[in-house]
Structure formats: structure tokens, C-alpha cells
Amino acid sequence: MNENDKKAFETQLRTFVGRPIGPPMTGRDPVNEPMIRQWCDAMGETHPAYLDAKAAKGTIHGEIKAPPTMLQAWVMEGWEMHEGYDEPKNEQHRLHKFLADHGYTGVLGTNTEENYTRYLRLGEQVTAETVIAEISDEKATGRGIGYFITTRTSFVNEKGEDIGSMSFRVLRYKPPAEAASAGGGAGKDGKSAAVAAKPTRIKPPMGQDNAWWWEKVAKENVLPIQRCTGCGKLRHPPRPMCDACGSQKWDSIAASGRGTIHTFTVIHYPQFPGYDYPIVSIIVDLEEGERMASTLVECKPEQVAIGMPVELLIHTDEDGFKIPFFRPAK
């Protein structure tokens, strides 16, 4: 796109902001017990206020109520409504098609926020109205350049009473390969061709109380543990004051690097750029008595076990960033 095309594109893009995606949508069924039961089955929810009329009588609700987190389920369309964006059926589809037609073909849901005003009673009829609330400026992200789109949905019952709301944000982006062939959306100055380089790990927040810890890892290739110089107590993660004696004076020791796995979890999703999946995320009981979160490497996920002895390995990312990992002890 040249500069004029880009301007025209941006102008048209902004016209979507504030538009309802379509007429308000009323759920196909009123709030009903069978749907509540099936939803609870799927979620593993067993609270009697949702499932057992007799038991519900004895609760603060006095009758069966719908789980608040079911809110969106009451207005779900059928599958036949989700035929993609080739023939847009509403403004949201039109917006997505508009972006896709301009090279922003990738979609990533980034976050959602729901507010529940109150519990729903059986027989209430839910209606939702969704508005395209915000479209960000063009951003360079780990996925490629793109726009964050926020939609806001208001939920009301048949009397128009507010029962909740939801906001949902997606990133619509140009995958780097397509950005290159489509000229990256660059103006003549090339400024907006900010396709990110190969993404790297998200850096930990570093503040006054913990930056020293990361610096020591990087410079000395050790795993530091903070030590109170008032009473000698070790503490991790780093913090300004000793919880035993109240002293704010401290130094640090280098951990031996030996420990055992206190617990672990294997992360498959969501997958962020810059990480290798699956990630074996562990809590290590260090030999010195402190506990820390880390990552286990050089070990298949199915071979991890609680109590397994591990040893320190200072890992260096491609961008030079150093981070303490562990591997099975030799």
C-alpha cells in the first residue's frame, strides 16, 4: 500500500468503531434446567444451587439459578451461523473481511473480560447487543503488525434489565511472510514496516528489588539467593525486608544448584512466540531450603516426577538473555 492507499484504508477502518455488529440477538431458549445441567456436566460444576431444586431451596438462592459464567451460552448461535467471513453476515464479519482483504489474515484472541450483574432465574430470556468498541492503532507484535479489535457485549433480560457484560479483544495481524510479499504495509518512509524479528522470550519485570538478581545471573553464571545480614535467613524471590528480623540489609549467596522437584505442570497451550513447547514448568526445592519456579529442560514431559533430583543449568537465549533452568541431576 502506498501512503494514500494506507490513509484511505485507515479512514475506512475507523468507520467501524462504534457500530453495533447487528441487531440485538435473543437466545434461542430461555434459561432452562437441561442446558444448565449439560453446561455443569461439561465444566465439572456440582453446586446443588444449579442442579437440585430441593437443595437449591435451602440455599440463599431459594431456587435453581444459572451459573453466572454461563451468560454467553444463552445467546450462542448454532453452528450454521459460523460459516466464515466469505459472505459477511454482520459488521464484525465485515470488519474482519476488510482487514483480511488487506493482508491482515491472522487472528488471535487475546483477552476477554466478563461482568455478571446477578444470577439468572429459570425462564429469563437473554438478549445480547454487541458493539465494535475500539480498534487500536497499528501495532508491531510478535505475530506481525496488526490491529487489536475490542467488541463489547451488553446482556439484558426480557424486561431490559442489565444482567451482565463482556468485552472481547482479538489481534488481526499480517503474518510476516504475507507482510513481506504485500510490502509490509509500509509507507514510503518504511516506518510502518515494523515486522518484528524472530520473537524471543518475554523478559521478566525487573525493579529495584530484583534487578540485581538477574544481573548476577547474567554476569556470574550463578543462581543467587538473597540472604539477610541481620539474622542470616535466606529468602527467594528477592524482596526488600527480612520477614524474620525486619532487617533491610542483605547480601546473597550462590546456590549449589542442586534441588528436587516439589511439583510441576506441563504447558502445551496457549503457545507464545519465543518459547519451545511443551514447557515443563517446575517448582524446585533448593538444597538451601528455598523454593523457586523454573523450567525443566533435557527431560521428556512423561519422565518428570515429583521428588526428582535436578541440577542448575544457566540457559542463554538467542538474544543473549540468561535465565536459570534445571535439568535432571546427572
Binding residues for Zn ion, rule: CB under 5 A, are 228, 230-231, 233, 242, 244-245, 247
Least Å from the CB of residue 178 to Zn ion: 57
Nearer to Zn ion by Cβ, of 81 and 245: the residue is 245
- Residue 178 three-state SS: helix
Q: Helix or strand or coil: residue 197?
A: coil
Considering the complex, state which of residue 127 and residue 226 has its C-beta at the smaller distance from Zn ion.
Answer: 226
Nearer to Zn ion, 187 or 237 (CB): 237
C-beta closer to Zn ion: residue 53 or 245:
245
Residue 160's contacts (CB-CB under 8 Å, 6 or more residues apart) are none
Residue closer to Zn ion by CB (options 195, 242) is: 242
- Centroid of chain to Cα 62: 36
- Which of 5, 17, 123 has its CA nearest to residue 64? 123
Secondary structure (3-state) at 191: coil
In whole angstroms, the minimum distance from the beta carbon of 225 to Zn ion comes to: 14
User: Does 270 sit behind a cis peptide bond, omega within 30 degrees of 0 on the bond before it?
Assistant: yes
**CB of residue 214 to Zn ion, shortest distance in Å:** 23
Rounded CA gap, 147 and 135, in Å?
7
Give me the least distance between CB of 209 and Zn ion, in Å please. Answer: 16
Q: How far is the CB of 197 from Zn ion (least distance, A)?
A: 45
User: Minimum CB separation from Zn ion for residue 289, in Å?
Assistant: 14
The residue (of 109 and 232) whose beta carbon lies closer to Zn ion is 232
DSSP string, 65-102: EE-GGGGGGGGPPPGGG---SSS--SHHHHHHHHHHHT
* Helices and strands, number each (H, E), in the chain: 7, 16
Taken in order 104, 105, 111, 117, is the CA torsion positive or negative?
Answer: positive
Amino acid, res. 266: V
